[in-house]
């Protein structure tokens, strides 16, 4: 590893690390890190700072709203050159617990892990967001709209991409699967 005259590693050696941070403060901690990096003039040693999330569509009272859902609450991914100066800058930021790693020593992530966590594998940013569905297989539900209104049944399957759920209802003494939109049912 080549170092320049001041003993710092060149920016070409940036690796991805995982930071443990206070849950529900990920965004403010990320902003504080960016501010500290600018103030200390260490931009060349830092790349992206990412809060892993996915787009989710949440339908409440008939209107669909899209928002980001954190994939790993309490964690931030940071791309940086790890040296004493950058390590202390990150560790001394309020809300940052520690680097994820073995016995306090920060371990960089493997590239395949980075790609998977950032959703870069077999997925593009234009893909449709998933629909947030509050039901899972085995839940008892009551159909509140449609042909089978007032029937009760058991959730057999959930498709977050299409927003559909499959419900087993009993018709004439037989279990029959019915595919419904998630907003057509309610918990019993």
Please write the tens of the pLDDT for every residue from 72-108: 889 899 999 989 899 899 989 999 988 887 566 788 8
Residue 2 is predicted with a pLDDT of 37
Q: How confident is the model at residue 6 (pLDDT cuts 50, 70, 90)?
A: very low
CATH 3.30.70.940 fits 11-128, yes or no: yes
DSSP for 93-131 reads STTEEEESEETTEE-PPPHHHHHHHTT-SS--TTSPPEE
Are the CB atoms for 109 and 41 separated by under 8 Å?
A: no
Vertex 48: Cα angle to 43 and 23 (nearest 5): 115
Please state the φ and ψ torsions of residue 64, each to the nearest 5 degrees: -95, 130
Return all residues near 174 (Cβ < 8 A) that are at least 6 apart: none
For the record, the structure tokens of 30 come out as 């990320």
Taking only the tens place, the pLDDT of each residue in 104-123 is 678 888 888 887 777 654 44
Q: Which CATH architecture has domain 133-187?
A: Roll (2.30)
Vertex 80: Cα angle to 74 and 85 (nearest 5): 100
- The H or E element that residue 12 is part of is none
Query: What is the average pLDDT value for the chain, to the nearest integer?
Result: 82
Q: How many other C-beta atoms lie within 10 A of the C-beta of residue 148?
A: 19
Q: What is the mean pLDDT of residues 40-52?
A: 91
Cross-sheet strand order for the sheet of 75-80: 46-50, 75-80, 15-21, 96-99
d(CA 45, CA 154): 54
- The H or E element that residue 76 is part of is strand 75-80
Please state the φ and ψ torsions of residue 91, each to the nearest 5 degrees: -65, -30
d(CA 2, CA 112): 26
Domain ranges in the chain are: 11-128, 133-187
Number of Cα atoms under 13 Å in the Cβ half of residue 109: 19
């Amino acid at each position: 590893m080549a170092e320049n005259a001041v003993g710092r590693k060149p920016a070409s050696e940036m690796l991805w690390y995982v930071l443990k941070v206070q849950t529900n403060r990920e965004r403010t901690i990320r902003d504080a890190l960016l501010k500290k990096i600018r103030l200390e003039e260490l931009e060349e040693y830092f790349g992206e700072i990412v809060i892993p999330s996915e787009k989710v569509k949440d339908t409440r009272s008939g209107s669909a709203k899209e928002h980001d859902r954190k994939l790993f609450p309490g964690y931030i991914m940071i791309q940086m050159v790890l040296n004493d100066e950058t390590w202390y800058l990150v560790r001394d930021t309020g809300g940052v617990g520690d680097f994820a790693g073995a016995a306090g020593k920060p371990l960089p992530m493997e590239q395949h892990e980075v790609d998977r966590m950032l959703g870069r594998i077999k997925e593009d940013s234009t893909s449709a967001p998933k629909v947030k569905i509050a039901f899972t297989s085995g839940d008892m539900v009551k159909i509140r709209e449609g042909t089978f209104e007032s029937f009760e049944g058991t959730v057999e399957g959930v498709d977050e991409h299409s927003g559909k759920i499959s419900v087993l209802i009993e018709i004439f003494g037989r279990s029959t699967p019915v595919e419904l939109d998630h907003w057509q049912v309610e918990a019993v």
